[in-house]
Amino acid sequence: MTDTVPWSYAPAPQERGIVTIAPSYGLFVDGKFAAAADGRTFATVNPATEESLAEVALAGEADVDRAVRAARAAYENVWGPMPGAQRAKYIYRIARLIAERAREFAVLESLDNGKPIRESRDVDVPLASAHFFYHAGWADKLDYAGFGQARPVGVAGQVIPWNFPLLMAAWKLAPALAAGNTCVLKPAETTPLTALLLAEVCQQAELPPGVVNIITGAGDTGAALVAHPGVDKVAFTGSTEVGKEILRSAAGSGRKLTMELGGKAANVVFEDAPLEGAVEGIVNGIFFNQGHVCCAGSRLLVQESVADMLLDRLRRRLAALRLGDPLDKNTDIGAINSRQQLDKIRELSAAGETEGAERWSPPCQLPDRGYWFPPTLFTGVSQSSRIAREEIFGPVLSVLTFRTPEEAVAKANNTPYGLSAGVWTEKGSRILWLAQRMRAGVVWANTYNRFDPASPFGGYRESGFGREGGRQGLGAYLDA
């Protein structure tokens, strides 16, 4: 998209050599890497080039069973009885090792996921390390956390998606370990590599075998894990559809569950908002991580009186975004994570046009190979349109307008989801008024996509239940 500005950035490629990718990876069970019992593997692909990065073991039921047994033995014999202060030392070690190997993690994440190195380097990896640091601090203070004499739950079965592979692993593992649980984690099929590097970090930190087990595979592996009778707690992040499947399979089992599911957040801009700041917040809200974000501000609600002015500025800003090589430090928009996801974004965008919305993208040269989608804006979107209702999970923004604050609230809440929302206004009283009426787990005011390990995150309605982060997130891993 640099064609639209009179000057251009010179390429600033990140050195790829910092990462050594092995030709193949085993499952990390009981402290060791080993092939799947039946020897099956699958390829993980760089979405920016479609090149195969490595072959990864595909865990079947026998492997899931072995991992859960290893976690159970470690829970009963080592991790459960270990004093919190001891557990904290291991978790601090993991936090420090992630920070030490940050660049390696960032490059690997961008290669396997397609996200810009600027994001993996500045957001995903530092936040992952911060989650371990934060939760290490809780490990010896659980008796003072307000949960009474709480005990760990036992073995946690954790299934994570592909949009923030390392960060989601940290969100799942850090609180579970701090609370004294052991874990079996299944990364997404398209992004297993940073979780496997994290397994290496667990070895480096001399974490006792079986405390963290990482089993790679596809949906069937995840299904086998969450249904395993040896799992005491299921933590899932992913689509609402799969979340519902898991809920059905877990019904009556008495298992503890947390579900972080989809979203269709409204980012509400009032006429008194500082528009330049709002434009940055809108861009961050929907184009960060190619829009592969459950809390993405995918519906822009803008007050009619400033809509034209805001949209002009937004279009200008989008024309300056740089799409391309995820390993270039100048890149704003990287590759779409998979062919399947690209097809879904294309299908929903086509539906938007068919349903009468006006589609706009800046002039943009897409690379010849890999999975790419330009930043896209839909105006004239009606509330009933699929692009206003369904989670697109891509760099696509649907714009709606409103006249009064009441109308803004009604439109923002007109969704089956309830994960997040944003509000842009100069008036503090209006922020509070709106936040009280938004049916969303998180409401950001004059900012968007802000995360901190101390701050609980989660939704309700079709966005799931339970919180991750903060004291509340810790409670999900305690039998309080």
Closest to ligand NDP by CB, 42 vs 147, is 42
Give the chain's length: 480
Binding mask 273-312 for ligand NDP (x = CB under 6 A): ---------------------x------------------
| 161 lies in the site for ligand NDP, by CB under 6 A | yes
Query: Looking at beta carbons, which pairs linking 448-453 to residues 24 or more positions away fall under 8 Å?
Result: 448/267, 448/281, 448/282, 448/284, 448/285, 448/297, 448/422, 449/284, 449/285, 449/288, 449/293, 449/295, 449/297, 451/127, 452/130, 453/127, 453/130, 453/131, 453/133, 453/134, 453/135, 453/174
Binding span for ligand NDP by CB under 6 A among 123-131, 198-206, 235-243, 250-258: 235-243
DSSP 210: T
Q: Which of residues 202-221 bind ligand NDP (CB under 6 A)?
A: 218-219
Closer CB to ligand NDP, 162 or 402, in the complex = 162
**CA pair distance 480, 153, nearest whole angstrom:** 9
Can you read off the two tokens belonging to residue 459?
């939704």
Least distance in Å: CB of 16 to ligand NDP?
25
In angstroms, rounded to a whole number, what is the distance separating the alpha carbons of residues 222 and 160?
Answer: 9
Dihedral class, residue 75 (left if φ above 0, else alpha if ψ from -120 to 50, else beta) = alpha
Residues 378-397 that bind ligand NDP (CB under 6 A): 391, 393
Q: Which of 223, 279, 421, 434 binds ligand NDP (CB under 6 A)?
A: 223
Near ligand NDP in 401-430, by CB under 6 A: none
> According to CB under 6 A, which one of 114, 209, 210, 222 is a site residue for ligand NDP?
222
> Does 245 sit near ligand NDP (CB under 6 A)?
yes
Instruction: Report the distance separating Cα 461 and Cα 271, nearest Å.
Output: 30
Catalytic residue among 119, 260, 391, 468: 260
Residues facing residue 123 across a β-bridge: none
Stretch that binds ligand NDP, among 52-60, 176-184, 237-245, 400-408 (CB under 6 A): 237-245
The answer to whether residue 57 forms part of the interface with ligand NDP (CB under 6 A) is: no
Span 59-98, contacts to ligand NDP by CB under 6 A: none
We find the least distance from the C-beta atom of residue 45 to ligand NDP, in angstroms, to be 13
Q: Does 242 bind ligand NDP (CB under 6 A)?
A: yes
Using the 8-state DSSP alphabet, how is residue 348 labeled? H
Q: Which of 98, 116, 120 is nearest to 47 (CA)?
A: 116
Number of C-alpha atoms within 13 angstroms, CB side, residue 27? 33
Minimum CB separation from ligand NDP for residue 168, in Å?
A: 8
Nearer of residues 337 and 401 to ligand NDP, judged by Cβ: 337
Report DSSP state, residue 36. -
CA within 13 Å, CB half, 128: 31
In whole angstroms, how close is the CB of 273 to ligand NDP at the nearest point? 27
Residue 223 or 381 having the CB closest to ligand NDP: 223
String marking each residue 171-190 x if it binds ligand NDP according to CB under 6 A: ---------------x-xx-
User: What SS3 class is residue 448?
Assistant: coil
> Can residue 234 be called a binding residue for ligand NDP (CB under 6 A)?
no
Q: Are 462 and 416 in contact (CB under 8 A)?
A: yes
> Residues binding ligand NDP: what is the number (CB under 6 A)?
26
Q: Which of 183, 202, 294, 295 is catalytic?
A: 294
52: left (phi over 0), alpha (psi -120 to 50) or beta: beta
Residues 246-265 that bind ligand NDP (CB under 6 A): 246, 261-262
Task: Name the minimum Å distance from CB 219 to ligand NDP.
Answer: 3
Residue with smaller CB distance to ligand NDP, 239 or 330: 239
d(CA 133, CA 61): 34
Catalytic annotation present for 109: no
Residue 239 binds ligand NDP, judged by CB under 6 A: yes
Report the residue closest to ligand NDP, judged by CB.
Answer: 222
- Structure tokens that stand for 175 in this block: 């609180």
Question: Is 352 an interacting residue with respect to ligand NDP (CB under 6 A)?
Answer: no
Six token digits for residue 366: 């897409």
Based on the shown chain and the rule CB under 6 A, indicate whether residue 351 belongs to the binding site for ligand NDP: no
The residue from 159, 167, 333, 423 that contacts ligand NDP (CB under 6 A) is 159
Q: At closest approach, how far in Å is the CB of 244 from ligand NDP?
A: 10
CB of 60 to ligand NDP, least distance (A): 13
Are the beta carbons of 424 and 449 closer than 8 angstroms? no
344 binds ligand NDP (CB under 6 A): yes
The residue among 475, 480, 387, 479 whose CA lies nearest residue 138 is: 475
What is the distance between the alpha carbons of residues 138 and 470, in angstroms, rounded to a whole number?
A: 10
Catalytic: 295? no
**By C-beta, is 294 or 314 nearer to ligand NDP?**
294
C-alpha 195/C-alpha 392 separation (Å) is 25
Q: What's the CA gap between 62 and 331, in Å, rounded?
A: 42
State the catalytic residues.
260, 294
Q: What is the binding site for ligand NDP (CB under 6 A)?
A: 159-163, 186, 188-189, 218-219, 222-223, 226, 237-239, 242, 245-246, 261-262, 294, 341, 344, 391, 393
